[in-house]
Structure 1
Amino acid sequence: MKETNESTPQSPLFHGVTVDAVAGLAAGCATTLIVHPLDLIKVRLQIDDSHRSPMGGIANVVRDLRHSQRPLQEIYRGLMPNLVGNTVSWGSYFMWYEYLKDKMGDFYGRKDLRFADYLVCSGASGCLTALFTNPIWVVKTRMLSTASTYQDAYKSMSQGFRQIARNEGMRGFYRGFLASLFGVGHGAIQIMFYEEMKRYYVGQANSNDQKLSTPQYITFSAASKIGASLIMYPSQVIRSRLQRYDADNVYLSMRDVIAKTARQEGILGFYKGRLTPLRILPNLVRVVPATCVTFVVYEHTRSYMRYT
């Protein structure tokens, strides 16, 4: 019996990757359930190409939701693709990220990675995740961007997949994919900032304990998200507009989206749905709490699974 147990040891790398995938799934699920209503408002603001004031745009979305036949149901419209997309995305992302970090550490012969190493690992993980999850985000964006009473609105996630497959083919599932790849830079920059802040703090504290407190995870995740958002947010607006229902009738390509947005709305058009010193919009109000929830749940779930 002893020989049997020793002949099938659990691989530490496989164990680590499994833990990171499960922790990512838990983080994505918790985050989506908490902040979905704010995500819906953000998407509807992103695709709004009118010249309403920021507060006017928010008020208009909230008014439409409140006056719908089933307000609560409308607020959580598109929850399923959002839930599936976020759980699969975060699970896949953290799984690939930790796996690539381990491989890079083995290659260098050290576990202490550098600024650029985190950027490469997170960027590659984001590309792999985007490849598998883009079809989910197309359905999610279309469901969140319209009320259920809209003429061509998808009634469910499965109906969305069927209609896209029938009417648009594979091209429909990968609308906005190029913009998504640009958006990978957002996650790469965020993770790079996050890892560097953690590494700096641990180094300053002269401690080998990588486990931080919840307030510290919140602080580092919020700061890294704000920095990445300021740099990379326009790609999200471009992607949302490419994925809307009537994109074929409005835009010819990603270049056309950029040109029309710049010409008709100016530089602030690329920042629809966000918080800047000049425009009070719900993006950072939504994404910063979401990021904090994601990383706190991920770090604590990962720590619990590894050390219990």
Structure 2
Amino acid sequence: MRPPHHQGSLAASVRSYLGLRFTAITATNPIWLIKTRLQLDARNRGERRMSAFECVRRVYNADGFRGFYRGMSASYAGISETVIHFVIYENIKRRLLEAKAPQNMDEEEDASKDASDFVGMMLAAATSKTCATSIAYPHEVIRTRLREEGTKYHSFFQTLTTVPREEGYRALYRGLTTHLVRQIPNTAIMMCTYELVVYLLNG
């Protein structure tokens, strides 16, 4: 999904994004489930690594086709993270542009961008992603729990209530720091690169 400010209204962009993400999650959830099972298997068993084909067979034998869609509800909930990210990013970017506007009275100067503008966009992206991820992160933990083999977790809300009750609310944020270390630089570079390409294409 391209950032909303390049696609018209924010509301229309969010609706488009939701439709695309629902479709993508539904189509690819079996792949992500197999990936998670393989990761957990390699960590827990300490023996011959299970192949993807064997994993598919085990999932089907245990739960049928429904087994390939475990954790999909948590992935749907995770859509909120990107929506929050873009809303915050757009607001920060707009404020940065408004702060710069009085300094550039000439239209040509106002349309030009320098290195500081792109640094500002990277900081805006990093800030918005940090906020969005911190708010929506529990869905990552819930999704992994639901995808575990032989798990006692059966649904999104059942997992959301069981984990804090048995392990405390901090359990919903396990791995957050590591996740942020990966996501923040990735998002900052991605958004800055996108803005730069759009700027160059627009001449």
TM-score (norm 1): 0.52
Higher RCO (Cα < 8 Å, 6 or more apart): 1
The letter of the residue matching 1:220 is A
Q: Distance in 2 between matches of 1:303 and 1:160?
A: 46
Partner of 2:42: 147
Contact map agreement 1:134 1:177 (CA 8 A) in 2: yes
Q: Which residue of 2 aligns with 1:284?
A: 180
* 1:261 pairs with one of 160, 163, 169: 163
Shift of the 209–133 alpha-carbon distance from structure 1 to 2, 3 Å rule, reads farther
The aligned amino acid for 2:181 is: V
- AA aligned to 1:172 is G
Query: Which of these residues, 124, 132, 136, is aligned with residue 232 of structure 1?
Result: 136
> Which residue matches 2:104?
none
Cα distance in 2 for partners of 1:189, 1:172 equals 30
Aligned-pair identity in percent equals 28
Aligned mate of 2:121, from 198, 201, 217 = 217
**How far is 1:184 from its partner?**
0.5
Q: Counterpart of 2:192?
A: 296
> What's the counterpart of residue 66 of structure 1?
none
Find out whether 1:271 has 2:173 as its counterpart. yes
List aligned pairs for 1:183-222, cutoff 5 A.
183-206=78-101, 207-208=110-111, 213-222=117-126
> How many pairs were matched up?
193
Q: Structure 1 136/300 Cα, relative in aligned 2: closer, same or farther at 3 Å?
A: farther
Question: How many Å apart are 1:172 and its aligned residue?
Answer: 2.1
- Write the distance in 1 (CA, Å) between the matches of 2:48 and 2:155: 22
Q: Does 1:241 align with 2:136?
A: no
Superimposed CA distance per residue, residues 131-157 of structure 1 (whole angstroms, 9 cap, x where no aligned partner): 23322221222223332783685434x
* 1:129 aligned residue: 24
Please identify, of 235-244 and 170-179, the stretch whose mean Cα deviation from structure 2 is larger. 170-179
Residue 117 (structure 1) shift: 5.0
Match of 1:138 among 33, 37, 54: 33
Question: Do 1:119 and 1:189's aligned partners in 2 also have CA atoms closer than 8 Å?
Answer: no
Give yes or no for contact 2:74–2:143 (8 Å, CA) kept in 1. yes
Gaps of 5+ in 2: 102-109
Amino acid at match of 1:197: I
Partners of 2:146 and 2:183 in 1: how far apart?
Answer: 21
Q: TM-score, normalised on structure 2?
A: 0.75
Find the aligned partners of 2:114 and 2:73 in 1 and give their Cα distance: 36
| CA apart distance, 1:223 | 0.2
For residues 173 and 303 of structure 1, the distance between their equivalents in structure 2, rounded to whole angstroms, comes to 42
**1:300 Cα offset (Å):** 4.1
Matched, 1:173 2:68: yes
Shift of 1:301: 5.0
Distance 2:136 2:157 in 1: 17
Distance in 2 separating the partners of 1:241 and 1:266: 15
1:23-61 deviation per Cα after TM superposition (whole angstroms, max 9, x unaligned)? xxxxxxxxxxxxxxxxxxxxxxxxxxxxxxxxxxxxxxx
The change in CA–CA distance for 1:211 and 1:138 in structure 2 (over 3 A counts) is farther
Q: 1:297 to 1:252 in 2, by over 3 A?
A: same
CA RMSD of superposed structures (Å): 3.3
Residue 195 of structure 1 aligns to which amino acid in structure 2?
A: E
Query: Could you give the per-residue CA deviations for residues 156-188 of structure 1, whole angstroms, max 9, x where no partner exists?
Result: 4x6545654565443122111111111100111
- Judging by fraction of residues, say which structure has more helix: 2
| Deviation larger for 122-131 or 185-194 | 122-131
Output the amino acid matched with 1:292. Answer: A
The alignment partner of 1:205 has SS state of helix
Structure 1: stretches of 5+ with no match in the other structure = 1-92, 106-112, 276-281
